[in-house]
Structure 1
Amino acid sequence: MKKAEQGDRVTIRYIGTLDNGYIFDSTEEQEPLTFTIGSDEVFPALEQAIIGMTAGQAKNLLIPAEQAYGPRRKENILVLQRDSLPAGSEPKPGQKVHMQLADGNELLMRVIEVNDTEVTFDGNHPLAGLDLTFALQLESIG
């Protein structure tokens, strides 16, 4: 039976959970995920776990935060004075905002705190700093 290897196009189904059991992503109600091993479409740790598996095989995989979205970084937190925001803007916690950086690049940030004088934005990925667990099944090797 063929085993998945570098360069193979594979299709997987998975349920991704956090330590507290929260499901952060799943293919249960959507199409399975298809990618090429070694093409940097998914975490390298996920690719490595699939190498050597056969179609139909299932396994559980823990990907530490450092091998997933990395640690939460304080330098990705930005606190701005409310009066420095565009007139009429009413930021709310959880809101996603595109910010233009000085170099012309854009960064997606989430509003995490709002008070009378300041607004705090977080540019970390929502899953940064978290270990991810995947219950995965290799559906096919193309």
Structure 2
Amino acid sequence: MKIEEGKVVTLEFKVYNKDNGDLLEDTQDVGPFFYIQGFGNFVPAIEEALEGQEKGYTTTIELTPEEGYGDYDEELIIEMDRSEFTEFEDIYEGLDFIADMDDDSEQSFVITNIEDDVITADGNHPFSGKNLKFDVVVSDVREATEEEIEHGHAHFHGFED
């Protein structure tokens, strides 16, 4: 089955910082990645590179920040008061959370520092501002279910080797 719009793609990959060779993420550690092709759930340049390919396809894809996760934006580093975290049982560095922004959008943040009652959080993707190299293996391609299409994202159904 070919990768095309509306197909669920299962990937195994390693992501490296292309400039220094550091391994940033390995799906062997976190589990395979699933997305629906053409639904904007993954990096567009990678979806484009995989279009028309099939299970078993392997490739290396290099991305600039513009092609990947964007430039690092200093304005996405914010300071918040501890009182804004009353709904959290535990607050710690590395905690990720979703914040409502002034323009009614939502933004993902990660706490990077806690000092007394001041919480510093970063809304940049961990890969933003980096030149990246993805070593990719297509583990599976399948039809998306009606529910997945309706929800706009893939659901875990397992996959065959």
What TM-score bracket applies, with the shorter chain setting the length?
0.5 to 0.7
Offset at 1:17? 0.8
Relative distance call for 1:57 and 1:74 in structure 2 (3 A) is: same
Offset at 1:95? 8.1
Relative distance call for 1:8 and 1:101 in structure 2 (3 A) is: closer
For 1:53, the equivalent position in structure 2 comes to 53
1:17 maps onto 2:16 in alignment: yes
SS in 2 for 1:47: helix
SS in 2 for 1:5: coil
**1:5 corresponds to which letter in structure 2?**
E
SS in 2 for 1:15: strand
SS in 1 for 2:47: helix
Q: Give distance in 2, aligned partners of 1:96 and 1:141.
A: 30
RMSD: 3.4
TM-score when normalising by structure 1 = 0.68
Offset at 1:55? 1.3
Offset at 1:108? 5.8
In structure 2, runs of 5+ residues without a counterpart are 84-91, 143-161
Q: Give distance in 1, aligned partners of 2:2 and 2:107.
A: 40
The worse-fitting range, judged by mean Cα deviation, of 95-104 and 13-22 is 95-104
CA shift digits 1:84-140 (9 cap, x unpaired): 877xxxxx987879888677988665676899xx99764433321112211001112
Q: Give distance in 2, aligned partners of 1:68 and 1:95.
A: 23
In structure 1, runs of 5+ residues without a counterpart are 87-91
Do the aligned residues in 1 keep the contact of 2:82 with 2:119 (CA within 8 Å)? no
For these two proteins, the number of residue pairs brought into alignment is 135
TM-score when normalising by structure 2 = 0.61
Q: Give distance in 2, aligned partners of 1:26 and 1:112.
A: 22
Offset at 1:56? 0.7
**1:63 corresponds to which letter in structure 2?**
L
Q: Give distance in 1, aligned partners of 2:53 and 2:114.
A: 48
